[in-house]
Every structure is written in C-alpha cells, then in structure tokens.
Homo-oligomer: A and B are copies of this chain.
Amino acid sequence: MRIALLGGTGDIGQGLALRWGRDTDHQLLVGSRDPERARRRAEAYETELDGRGADGRLSGFENAMAADRADVVVLSVPAYHLVDTIEAVADRLDDETVLVTPAVGMKRDADGFHYNRPDAGSVAALAADAAPAAVPVVGAFHNLPADGLADLDREFEWDTLVFGEDADANAVVADLADGIEGLRALDVGGLANAPEVEAVTPLLINVAMDNEGLEDLGVRFE
C-alpha cells in the first residue's frame, strides 16, 4: 500500500511514518508544502529506521505530489490547516483514494485542554465537507500521543478508533492501524460518532498533565 502522510514532517505524521516503516512493508510518502523539507525529513526517518535494521521505503514530496501517488492519504496536519490542505490536493484524489483525518481541534484555558467542536459537528465532518464527494473520508489515529508514537523504543498497547461512512474504506484504514505493533483498531461507526472520539485527545493531555508519572498517554478499551 502507498500511504501519503501530508504534513508528515512533524507531530503524528512522524510517528506513523516511523511505525509503518518499521512494522510493515507499506511505501511511505512524506508530504510537506515544501518539497525540499519533505525530502530531508523522509531521509531523516530512513536514517533512524536503518539504524534499527529496518528497510526504508520512504520518500519526500510536495503534498499534492504525495497525494497523487498514494492509495491512502493521511492528513497529519493541525485542524486549522485541514481544509486548506485538502483543497490543495483535491484534484489529485479520486474514488480510489482513502482520505484519513486524525486531526482534533482544541483550545486551552486555565483548567486544561478542551475539545473545540466545529460548527460542522466535528473536525472529521469539516474534512468530509471539504473533500471531493467521491472520496471516502475516514477518521482514525486521533488518540495517540505524537511523542510516544515517534519514540520507537516505546512499547504500548493502545487502541485507535476508526469511523466513517464507507465501510470498505474504514476496513482499509483499520488494517493499516493493526499493522502497527501494539495498536488495535476498533470500529466506532459513522461520522456522527466523531465528536466523542475527537474529544478524547484533550482529555489524554489533561490526564497526563495532572498525574505525575503519566505522560504521552494513549487509551485502551477493555
């Protein structure tokens, strides 16, 4: 499978690239608005994987070029860049491409982080509204700590919740998630169930901030 990680130069994109690079045979296309930066990051990820004896299959591209070459496009960008990132690559997507959103909108006050629910209903709904109608949009990888995911020495047993309106596309993404060691994909229905999933991310940050010894938290349903 060819997976594009748009905005794959940081945050959750880095962790997904490294984990898929180590644990699977997928081809990974690191995307950035700046192609030179994308290539440098892809090279840095390869170097880290080489150092661990894993075969690198990473390359770097400008976002639209990465999307054009991919079967699955992961929007690993902040929520406020989600819509313009989709618009920038929209004419490279078709009904064979699966668009994945792990983005969460948050705001912070004195008490902690809070889910900033968009008027569209959820961040995933924003993505679905912005995407071409034929392109399935799947929510996944929301509740994973970016630093913990990118630290390949960290072992975990985390769940990721997968939702969307196209069951086949959901299944493709669930398979990709299950390919990462220690990660379990759970089905959580359609787009209407997005807000409760997205709201877990600020909660994880609050729990990590308020409890000594807990950091970079994921979640497990059991």
Which chain A residues have a beta carbon within 8 Å of chain B's beta carbons? 109-112, 114-115, 156-158, 161, 186-193, 195-197, 199-200, 202-204, 206-207, 209-211, 214, 217-222
Contacts and interface: CB of A to CB of B under 8 A. Distances in A.
Number of copies: 2
Given A186-B210, A187-B207, 7 more contacts: A111-B190, A111-B192, A114-B195, A189-B209, A193-B206, A195-B199, A196-B203
Contact of A187 (B157, B161, B210): B210
Q: State the main secondary structure of chain A at its contact with B.
A: mixed
A206 B193 CA distance: 8
Contacts of A210: 186-189
Nearest to A110: B192
B203 A186 contact: no
B218 A222 contact: yes
Contacts of A211: 186-187
Nearest to A184: B211
Contact of A214 (B214, B219, B221): B221
Contact of A114 (B196, B203, B221): B196
Contacts of A114: 192-193, 195-196
9 contacts: A109-B192, A111-B193, A186-B207, A188-B203, A189-B206, A196-B199, A196-B206, A217-B222, A220-B222
Contacts of A209: 189
A112 B195 CA distance: 12
